[in-house]
A = this chain, B = another copy of it.
């Protein structure tokens, strides 16, 4: 049987395009003792994968010629380990390929929750990131004004809905009028600000007349700077991601309001990785599924079809095409 892969043939100097990838075919691999053969069901697309091309981050950097890295929801096809059996589901680094052989000891069996795509969105990295980032790092209180950037994205669309459940006034920042309209009409945001409209600082001020108590930052850059200028006294900033910095040759300068605004407003700023909350995931999934089942959280997903769409799916994600978690259904 044939395996298919995408390789990163050249590292992008500026914006990423589909030309940086090359599709190849090889024989399907065979697992050795202690390994399992996985078949990819859904490949998760993540803006952070553009950052891996800049060098080491929370994982090793990518070099030209590498198999493109990425996480997927995958099913065990063949097992040479007592830990896992055919049919078991896992979420792991497989790279961009249809079949992958992985050491079984690195894998944890997932519950089979339907639809399976929810294991990539609300019960996966984005849902858990939104949950721990907002609640543990942001410490929102009822009545707080909570601002979320990339609010239509995988993490932002969930973080905003959790903030709403916690009794906060929620303002989303997104690109374009259509996305902003969707935030208020369908995802329960109280207000939305279009960062592409060219008047972010003032528009944010109008949307947050009492200042921002919690800012959940997915973008960094100018959006972070505008939020710094609008923070309320004793506000909290959650540094989750910096997607504005990823798809470029070198990261830009930092926000000019840091550290000045942090001092003047006695801000608490917390960066985090999901890894920091290992061991607390069961509690989070239990609470999230409660909200999903009662309809308090509307799960948005952006599912593209077919392995070959991976390069354009990532390029489009970096351009902000998606609402909710973007993933590619491979099988």
Whether B260 contacts A220 by the Cβ 8 Å rule is yes
Which residues on the B side are within 8 Å of A259 (C-beta)? Answer: 217, 220, 224, 239, 242, 254, 269, 271
Which of the segments A15-23, A93-101, A117-125, A245-253 contacts the partner chain? A245-253
Chain B residues with CB below 8 A from A239, complex form: 259, 262-263
A259 shortest CB reach to chain B, Å: 4
A134 to chain B, nearest CB (A): 15
Residues of chain B lying within 8 A (CB to CB) of residue A270: 262, 266-269
Q: In the complex the two chains form, is B263's CB within 8 Å of A273's CB? A: yes
Inter-subunit contact B265/A271 (CB<8 Å): yes
Q: Is there a chain B Cβ closer than 8 Å to A27's Cβ? A: no
**A225 vs chain B, min Cβ distance (A):** 7
Are B254's CB and A240's CB within 8 A?
A: no
- Assembly CA distance A268 to B225 (angstroms): 18
List A residues 35-67 near B (Cβ within 8 Å): 57-58
Residue from A225, A240, A258, A261 with most neighbouring chain B CB atoms (10 Å): A258
**Residue of B at shortest CB range from A231?**
B271
- Closest B residue to A235 by CB, please name it: B271
Q: Which residue of B lies closest to A241 (CB)?
A: B263
- The CA-CA distance from A245 to B257 in the complex, in Å, is 11
Asked if A291 lies at the interface with its beta carbon under 8 angstroms from chain B, I say no
Interface string of A164-195 (1 = CB under 8 A from B): 00000000000000000000000000000000
Is the C-beta of A206 less than 8 angstroms from some C-beta in chain B?
A: no
* Bound CA span A261–B258, Å: 14
- Distance in Å from the Cβ of A185 to the closest Cβ of chain B? 30
**Chain A positions 123 through 153: 1 when the CB is less than 8 Å from some CB of chain B, otherwise 0:** 0000000000000000000000000000000
Q: Report yes or no: B260 in contact with A264, Cβ–Cβ below 8 A.
A: no
Residues of A within 8 A of B (CB): 57-58, 217, 220, 224-225, 239-242, 245, 251-273, 276
A-B contacts, 17 of them at CB < 8 A, read A57-B264, A220-B260, A239-B262, A251-B256, A251-B260, A253-B253, A253-B254, A254-B257, A255-B258, A259-B269, A262-B269, A262-B270, A263-B271, A264-B273, A265-B271, A269-B269, A269-B271
